[in-house]
Structure 1
Amino acid sequence: MTIIDDIESRLTHHGDKGNVIYRHRIATRITHWTWAIALFFLLLSGLQIFNAHPELYIGKQSGFEFDNSVLSMRAMQAADGKVDGYTTIFGQSYKTTGVFGMSGPADNPSYRGFPAWATLPSYQDLATGRVIHFFFAWFFVAAFLVWFVASLISGHLRRDILPSRADIRGLPKSLSDHLRFRFHHDGRYNVLQKLAYAGVLLVIFPLIILTGITMSPGMNAAWPWLLDVFGGRQTARTIHFVCMALLVAFFLIHIFMVVAAGPLNEMRSIITGWYRTDPEKKEEHTA
């Protein structure tokens, strides 16, 4: 009996528990945790790199003579001499002192896009941030390739990730069940999970990898067509940033859903592969 089994036995009656099935293969579990670790370091080091120039553009060029900025996090001085942090999105500025643009103690503020606690290293060090970022980027890419090949061979991609027509027809009911926190533990991914995982694994992951490659001058020499595909290095940087923001949003929703659906069962399945299904409903017999 595992530790999780022991905890479950204390929380539920034996007769109320369903069957335990093998849900996640080892390749899925290893790549899941590899991505979790890699993305943690990629996020913090990526924000360190962003802070070197906390502004995003659309187009192939940027500079003082261009007006193509879509996001900036800067400290600006008002007419009264007071300095505050501002985040500007599509020309609309918002005061974000303490978080974006300017953060830290009032007597010794730091003028930077993201605050020190959100970057790696915490102090401004572009060179170290780039070393960390590129190191974990290759782990991320390797894990993606392993997962993709393994999923094709095992049928995991077709069976569990790509939604079928029947899944799409059941989308309204699945959405309604989730809004009412009614979860069905039958060992299969529901249509919302499939759509979310397909979006992350087959759209966001490839995009974040390709836009990252597009920002590399060395890769531009080898694959110059990437600059045309993504509309230039500056647009690729913006898309890369948006993908990162979407992954953070997915992570927060993912953690919330794991807790809501039953964290013990969900964690066991992604650690050991074994998952407990709902107990079978017994038919009621009337005289």
Structure 2
Amino acid sequence: MDATAETSNAEAETGRPQKGPLIYRQSRWTRLTHWVWAFALFFLLLSGLQIFNARPQLYIGKESGFGYDNTILKIGADEADEGSRGYLEIFGRRFDTTGVLGWSGPPGNETARAFPSWATIPSYYDLGTARVVHFFFAWTLSATLLVWLIAGLFNGHIRRDLAPRLADIRNLPRDVFDHARLRFHHTGRYNTLQKLAYGGVLFVALPLMILTGLAMSPSMNSVLPFLNELFGGRQTARTIHFTVMVLLVLFFLIHMLMILAAGPINELRSIITGWYRTDPPENGTSSAERSN
């Protein structure tokens, strides 16, 4: 009797689908750094929005001010016939964002602020505290990324799990199609889209976030003066920094949707305990064999 027949008999006897084997998928270093990143990025985002509120505009170039016309994004509030209205302006096109961006707060007690109080740390305006929180978690994120990189090189996680292979590139169209249909294969290995997404965050987005943050720091300019020039000036570095933040938020939202769609219990068990339940074997093949 082959594995498929055994699985079918087991399902018929129990009335429930046969479960696949548990495999040890995530090392302790991967799990630890994952949760430190999640914690650090949460505080970085909310304290960063507080810092942005001090000057809610983005520019391209080395300088900004009244004598320049290089603003690409602005959040503010204007007086209108019906009262104060918040707005978001991108490349000269304005959108009404009253109640969320530019003008927000409890009814009757609204204030002019780019991002609302519930989206910032602290909730009240305190630039000094926001900067302390932001810098602390920025260094926490940087140190954790370095630890993950060293551990990933030594234990083979980067080479084994994240480096795309030729077969991954060939499987990309099918992988995109499967994700669009919310059809997931629990093989215990990262699929092509996961490798590209995680690799993009870990090797592009986070390092870019760190480098642009350093480029904006006046104290770091004396130590690494080339960073400012590399990104086209402090204002351009600030714009890139903000853009990467938006991309990371989008990644987080998609990441959460995929976890819910693929099976949140299994995914959370994997990143908390390291153990991941794979699909039942098909035709006598293991999950690892089907993923190759």
TM-score for the superposition, normalised by structure 2:
0.90
> Is 2:193 aligned against 1:186?
no
**What's the % identity of the aligned pairs?**
62
Report the equivalent of 2:134.
133
3-state DSSP of counterpart to 2:74: strand
Paired amino acid for 2:42:
F
Report the equivalent of 2:74.
72
What is the CA distance between 1:81 and its match in structure 2? Answer: 7.2
- Between the aligned partners of 1:208 and 1:59, the Cα distance in structure 2 is 18
What is the CA distance between 1:281 and its match in structure 2? Answer: 2.2
Query: Counterparts in 2 of 1:147-162, with a 5 A limit?
Result: 147-162=148-163
Query: Counterparts in 2 of 1:101-140, with a 5 A limit?
Result: 101-140=102-141
Which segments of 5 or more consecutive residues in structure 2 lack a partner in the other structure? 1-13, 285-292
Report the equivalent of 1:210.
211
Which segments of 5 or more consecutive residues in structure 1 lack a partner in the other structure? 1-11
Report the equivalent of 1:61.
63
- Between the aligned partners of 1:209 and 1:193, the Cα distance in structure 2 is 22
What is the CA distance between 1:76 and its match in structure 2? Answer: 1.2
Report the equivalent of 1:9.
none
- Between the aligned partners of 1:144 and 1:86, the Cα distance in structure 2 is 37
- Between the aligned partners of 2:190 and 2:283, the Cα distance in structure 1 is 24
Report the equivalent of 1:18.
20
Q: Which runs of 4+ in 1 moved over 4 A?
A: 12-15
3-state DSSP of counterpart to 2:266: helix
- Between the aligned partners of 1:74 and 1:224, the Cα distance in structure 2 is 33
What is the CA distance between 1:209 and its match in structure 2? Answer: 0.3
RMSD (Å) for aligned C-alpha atoms: 1.4
- Between the aligned partners of 2:124 and 2:279, the Cα distance in structure 1 is 49
TM-score for the superposition, normalised by structure 1:
0.92
Query: Counterparts in 2 of 1:239-278, with a 5 A limit?
Result: 239-278=240-279
- Between the aligned partners of 1:14 and 1:28, the Cα distance in structure 2 is 33
What is the CA distance between 1:157 and its match in structure 2? Answer: 1.1
- Between the aligned partners of 1:24 and 1:55, the Cα distance in structure 2 is 41
> Is 2:101 aligned against 1:100?
yes
What is the CA distance between 1:77 and its match in structure 2? Answer: 2.0
- Between the aligned partners of 1:144 and 1:173, the Cα distance in structure 2 is 31
3-state DSSP of counterpart to 2:113: coil
3-state DSSP of counterpart to 2:47: helix
- Between the aligned partners of 1:155 and 1:240, the Cα distance in structure 2 is 30
3-state DSSP of counterpart to 1:16: coil
Report the equivalent of 1:84.
85
Query: Counterparts in 2 of 1:37-56, with a 5 A limit?
Result: 37-56=39-58
- Between the aligned partners of 2:114 and 2:188, the Cα distance in structure 1 is 43
Paired amino acid for 2:19:
K
- Between the aligned partners of 2:136 and 2:220, the Cα distance in structure 1 is 16
- Between the aligned partners of 2:228 and 2:158, the Cα distance in structure 1 is 30
What is the CA distance between 1:164 and its match in structure 2? Answer: 1.1
